[in-house]
Chains A and B, each alone.
Chain A
Amino acid sequence: MLPLLTTIVFLPLVGAAVTALLPRERADLPRLVALVVSLVDLALVLWLVVRFDVAGGLQFIERARWIPEANIQYFLGVDGISLPLLFLSALLLPIAILASWKVSERPGFYFTMILLLAVGMNGVFVALDFVLFYVFWELVLVPMYFLIGVWGGPRREYAAIKFFLYTLFGSVFMLVGILALYLHPAGGTFDMTVLASSTGLPASFQWWVFAAFFLGFAVKVPVFPFHTWLPDAHVEAPTAGSVLLAGILLKMGTYGFVRVSLPMLPEAAESWAWFVALLGVISILYGAAVAFAQTDLKKLVAYSSVSHMGFVMLGIAAGTPEGLNGAVAIMFAHGVITGMLFLLVGMVYERTHTRTIADVSGLSKQAPVAAGMLAFASFASLGLPGLAGFVGEFLSLVGAWRSELVAPGFVVAAAIGVLLAAAYMLWMVQRTVLGAPSSAVEGITDLNRLEIGILIPLVVITVVMGVYWSSILRYVDPAVTALLATMGAV
């Protein structure tokens, strides 16, 4: 029997080795290799989803000694919280590859980087040993650095270095947290499952370790005021980079809160909750307001991500079943919906050669399919019930109100964020989709079959999840319940 998780994580690495070593003359081979690898990976993840036992807790566990001298293990496993994210990662990979089909500049290098990125993304969500977790966490930085820095826009070098250094700066604090847990007598291990169920870390120690992890995760999410690398990275990154950045990389931060901060440092999580909620609410309102003022489509979507991720933080701070279910639901939904938005912005840019909102108008007249998709993604993003975005945001609000850790005022402010989301999204739709075609839009072609094909799975998932919440929550809810049970036991 094949070790399933290892195969899922490292198959892209094999692919990366192949694409790196392919002869330069065969410029069309790397993308084909990458696509095949990503589709096989997706198939494996789907098989895993099918075989996943909803009530089974951690499963598909693989464990081996790695560096016995330091008691470091090779330890993988998946539960209902990581499963949706692993699926999201596997889903967005072929989509990102197909969206890069026309990359002509050094395709071998490009697809190597994409596949290498996949190793890190998949690995982070299934690693259960802190050292392994950290390796995957940092592994993600390198390929994304190159994706932005080599295939990016005019300010790519600045954006790439900023992305790299800023998130590295954050993860140094995370490393400090990991080591602190390891060196503390009541911790003394890199085993994340042991740390998550252990008791007896003194509250004051927890407080400091939480702060260290907080910095690491908050930069990644990103939470206000650590967010300014995000718009730069998004604007400069190629479409596939933006899709994976917003779709997966941001979720690593919030996943860290759920996987590390809450279960390992439950008392600190409680005393820090108001702060997490505060920054979450500020992110919601601030991100929405700044998004409203943007003139660049990609920046608008980037700031909308800051706003949406604020809802995740609010749900996490709440620490209630509704809040945590909501948090994971938003992570998933945001990956799908924002993926769509970035894909569409990229498709529009390819045709109009501009992302300036003022220059793109009347899409629906000239390119009705693109316009319809953009409008659909926008409504999903602004949290229209019946589509995926609503599920998590609603649960997060309900969960936050129910929580004793979050002040009602925060919830009211967050609810106003839902209104502001409608404001920036509708205004964008009004200016780009509606109206009479502008000169940049005049004469452009509508989406081709490949582009529609890329978007369709995301559209379907958005609708299915929005109508039948259990499609994702059936995995999340038992895991969340288990998580809260261990926290309550402390």
Chain B
Amino acid sequence: MAYVALIPLLPALAFAVMAPLSRVVRNRVRWLGVAGVGGALLLSLVAFASVWPGGHEGEAAYHASWPIAQVGGVDLSLGILLDPLAAIMLLVVTIVGVCVQVYSLGYMHRDERVGWYFAVLTLFTAAMLALVLSDNFLMFYMAWEVMGLCSYLLIGFWHEQEAPRKASQKAFLTTRVGDVGFAIGLAIMYATVGSFDFDVVLGSAGAWAPGVATAVALLLLFGAMGKSAQVPLHVWLPDAMAGPTPASALIHAATMVAAGVFLVARALPIFEASGVALTVTMAVGAITALLGGLLAAVQHDVKKVLAYSTISQLGYMFLAIGAGGAIAGMFHLVTHAFFKSLLFLGAGVIIHAAHTQDMREMGGLARHLPVTSVTFGIGALALAGIFPFSGFWSKDEILYAVWNDGHYVTFAVALMAAFVTAFYVARLWFRVFTGPVQTENLAEGHTEMLVPMGVLAAITAVIGLTAPRFSEFLGHAGHWPDPAMAVSSSVVALSGLALGWWAYGRTRLVLNTRSLKERSGHAYTVLTQKYYFDVTYEHFIIRPYMRAAESLSRFDGSAIDGAVNGAAGAWKRLTEVAWSFDGRVIDGFVNGVARAARASGGALRRIQAGRVQTYQRYVLGALVLLMLWIVVKGA
């Protein structure tokens, strides 16, 4: 089973080969990235098959670790834990990873730094796979941060423009705010049990003091909120859309942003030991699901709609886990990874074809992009939660879990979010694919781009049917959707779609939304201003910090260094006083002697005039030799 270690190592190796090459050569060997991730996919399939039958035992099928350090007698290690949860994630990451890599061959082929793009994409995949397979929190955290680096590099890929440059920095710093919490959580965890290993930590979590469990769980959650763009740390994800679209599909839709959800799922025993932390998780998820969905409904940039949609859907997953539906949350993670990356890849084709990201400048694409519109349509219906596409099943499970656990307020919020989701899906669809064509020479994407979309669409169409098996695989009783729940959620989703159609889809009478926006006044402004999060951060954190840094820097020069120079100056004046005393009184005598000596010294000086530097070197050499002699004698 040692081949499991190769799953992250293959792409890592591909990166290691590609990174040091020159740009020209690297561009030529971009297939190495595809090969690395492809190899990981094959091995993942084997690994998945190996845990499939016995998975419901809840036993790790494969566990191995290699110490990287011993600190105070404790081994810190890199380790691999292949259990059903990890096996599922492996498939998600590698399938989406390969699809995105292949798609990128078409999408990015004209970029002058395409080799670097593939290298980073491949390193990202390696890090994500390492995270998925890690058997301890330390390795998890390390992989987590490396993903953050790749995300930074890809968001800022076109760094000669200002927006990507700024967005990449914002993304790294915002997620690192969460990571500060994560790191402190790790410190507390280690101080409590003296280990980062899942076995030890999760096995003992139930016996921790509730306060400790709550602290650790909330700090981990804070880290997860940064990575998974949950309110109030969500602000980086919409900006991150400045990166190449396929990178967004992989990193900022399917995998990395879902790592936060995976973290909570992994650390679930700590959250359960706390109890409070679960409630907080649910609340954060519910708030994010609704707020994100509402923002998605007012965006004009097609990628930003999808970005806010991702934020909202991730909120759905947190909500599910918090409400006790961890399996449902993980299932939604899986279905979402496929349908959302599909939507992003579709968006890439749309953007290439329409030469814009603004939906107001698009229309009527369905006739010219048949493959894209069908596959995108499947993804859109899945997102809206329409039977029989994947989103329907996972969303239904979440609603069922929330209702069953008695969280009726959360249930209501979740339904509202579902309604809003269906609405913005319809808005997106009708604006982009129907109505009058606004672009000339609309062209369908390359084959390399369409094939991966087809694969993802196929998965999206059928994967929902695995819902009961999915639960069983993770060790829970599987069931088919509750008919009442299925009907009510479908009604909500369909009415959302209907409202979207009514507002944006009617050919004859397209509703003029301007009057509606004007009438809603402040409410609409709040949405277009993204609830003022960015402004608030800019005003109350970033600017004050910059000002504080400036004034500390001035303080450093004037006060602290001033004190040093002042002390030195005072000392100098003191010595000058002493010196003048010395000069007048004591030196008077010495000078008399010196005058006599100078007369005789004149001869000597003549010999040496003009050779001061040579003279210095002799002195120096003599000094060094003297020291050498002392040492030799001493030793």
Residues on A lying within 8 angstroms of B by beta carbon are: 3, 6, 10, 13-14, 16-17, 20-21, 24, 62, 64, 66-67, 74, 106, 108-109, 112, 116, 162, 165-166, 225, 227-229, 286, 289-290, 292-294, 320-322, 325, 362, 364-365, 368, 379, 384-386, 390-391, 394-395, 397-398, 400-402, 411-412, 415-416, 418-419, 422-423, 426-427, 430, 434-436, 467-470, 473-474, 477, 480-481
* Nearest chain A residue, comparing its CB with the CB of B184: A415
The CA-CA distance from A412 to B400 in the complex, in Å, is 40
Any chain A CB within 8 A of the CB of B631? yes
Chain A binder among B83-91, B363-371, B455-463, B544-552? B544-552
For residue B188, which residues in chain A have a CB less than 8 angstroms away from its CB?
Answer: 401
The CA-CA distance from A321 to B173 in the complex, in Å, is 30
Any chain A CB within 8 A of the CB of B534? no
The CA-CA distance from A24 to B620 in the complex, in Å, is 14
The CA-CA distance from A402 to B556 in the complex, in Å, is 33
**Minimum C-beta distance from B114 to chain A (A):** 15
Q: Is the CB of A398 within 8 A of B72?
A: no
Chain A binder among B142-150, B327-335, B354-362, B598-606? B142-150
Given contacts A112-B624, A321-B72, A430-B165, contact A384 B145 (CB under 8 A): yes
* Nearest chain B residue, comparing its CB with the CB of A400: B187
24 A-B residue pairings within 8 Å (CB atoms) = A14-B628, A21-B621, A24-B617, A66-B634, A74-B631, A162-B564, A228-B564, A289-B552, A292-B549, A293-B550, A294-B553, A321-B71, A362-B160, A385-B141, A386-B142, A386-B146, A401-B190, A402-B187, A402-B191, A412-B184, A419-B177, A468-B69, A469-B76, A477-B73
Q: Is the CB of A481 within 8 A of B628?
A: no
**Minimum C-beta distance from B515 to chain A (A):** 43
For residue B145, which residues in chain A have a CB less than 8 angstroms away from its CB?
Answer: 384-386, 390
Q: Is the CB of B180 within 8 A of A290?
A: no
* Nearest chain A residue, comparing its CB with the CB of B564: A228
The CA-CA distance from A51 to B111 in the complex, in Å, is 51
The CA-CA distance from A361 to B159 in the complex, in Å, is 12
Q: Is the CB of A411 within 8 A of B184?
A: yes
Q: Is the CB of A3 within 8 A of B625?
A: no
* Nearest chain B residue, comparing its CB with the CB of A376: B19
The CA-CA distance from A423 to B170 in the complex, in Å, is 9
Q: Is the CB of B70 within 8 A of A384?
A: no
Chain B at the A interface: SS class = helix
**Minimum C-beta distance from A475 to chain B (A):** 11
Determine which of A67, A289, A402, A468 lies in contact with B190 in the assembled complex, contact meaning CB atoms within 8 Å: A402
The CA-CA distance from A481 to B73 in the complex, in Å, is 8
Any chain A CB within 8 A of the CB of B430? no
Interface string of B555-585 (1 = CB under 8 A from A): 0100011011000100000000000000000
Determine which of B70, B169, B191, B552 lies in contact with A398 in the assembled complex, contact meaning CB atoms within 8 Å: B191
The CA-CA distance from A395 to B138 in the complex, in Å, is 11
Given contacts A112-B624, A228-B564, A411-B184, contact A320 B72 (CB under 8 A): yes
Q: Is the CB of A473 within 8 A of B70?
A: yes
Q: Is the CB of A415 within 8 A of B68?
A: no
For residue A365, which residues in chain B have a CB less than 8 angstroms away from its CB?
Answer: 160
Given contacts A415-B183, A419-B173, A422-B172, contact A435 B624 (CB under 8 A): no
Q: Is the CB of A293 within 8 A of B624?
A: no
Q: Is the CB of B186 within 8 A of A13?
A: no
Any chain A CB within 8 A of the CB of B635? yes
**Minimum C-beta distance from A170 to chain B (A):** 12
For residue A415, which residues in chain B have a CB less than 8 angstroms away from its CB?
Answer: 180, 183-184, 187
For residue B183, which residues in chain A have a CB less than 8 angstroms away from its CB?
Answer: 394, 397, 415, 418
Given contacts A379-B149, A401-B187, contact A109 B617 (CB under 8 A): yes
Any chain A CB within 8 A of the CB of B60? no
Determine which of B69, B141, B191 lies in contact with A473 in the assembled complex, contact meaning CB atoms within 8 Å: B69
Interface string of B52-88 (1 = CB under 8 A from A): 0000000000000001111111001000000000000
Q: Is the CB of A398 within 8 A of B156?
A: no
Any chain A CB within 8 A of the CB of B412? no
**Minimum C-beta distance from A227 to chain B (A):** 8
The CA-CA distance from A124 to B529 in the complex, in Å, is 60
Q: Is the CB of B142 within 8 A of A289?
A: no
Given contacts A10-B631, A411-B187, A470-B67, contact A435 B159 (CB under 8 A): yes
The CA-CA distance from A292 to B144 in the complex, in Å, is 25
Any chain A CB within 8 A of the CB of B176? yes
Residues 168-204 (chain B) with a chain A CB within 8 angstroms: 169, 172-173, 176-177, 179-180, 183-184, 186-188, 190-191
Q: Is the CB of B635 within 8 A of A426?
A: no
**Minimum C-beta distance from A325 to chain B (A):** 5
* Nearest chain B residue, comparing its CB with the CB of A326: B71
For residue B152, which residues in chain A have a CB less than 8 angstroms away from its CB?
Answer: 426
For residue B173, which residues in chain A have a CB less than 8 angstroms away from its CB?
Answer: 419, 422-423, 426
Given contacts A6-B635, A398-B190, A477-B70, contact A289 B617 (CB under 8 A): no
Any chain A CB within 8 A of the CB of B42? no
For residue A391, which residues in chain B have a CB less than 8 angstroms away from its CB?
Answer: 69
Any chain A CB within 8 A of the CB of B407? no
**Minimum C-beta distance from A451 to chain B (A):** 15
For residue B169, which residues in chain A have a CB less than 8 angstroms away from its CB?
Answer: 426-427, 430
Any chain A CB within 8 A of the CB of B526? no
**Minimum C-beta distance from A386 to chain B (A):** 5
The CA-CA distance from A419 to B159 in the complex, in Å, is 22
Task: Pick the most buried of A67, A106, A430, A480: most chain B CB atoms within 10 A of its CB.
Answer: A430
For residue B476, which residues in chain A have a CB less than 8 angstroms away from its CB?
Answer: none
Determine which of A17, A74, A320, A325 lies in contact with B628 in the assembled complex, contact meaning CB atoms within 8 Å: A17
Q: Is the CB of B634 within 8 A of A418?
A: no
Determine which of B166, B187, B546, B627 lies in contact with A397 in the assembled complex, contact meaning CB atoms within 8 Å: B187
* Nearest chain A residue, comparing its CB with the CB of B627: A13
Task: Pick the most buried of B149, B553, B624: most chain A CB atoms within 10 A of its CB.
Answer: B624
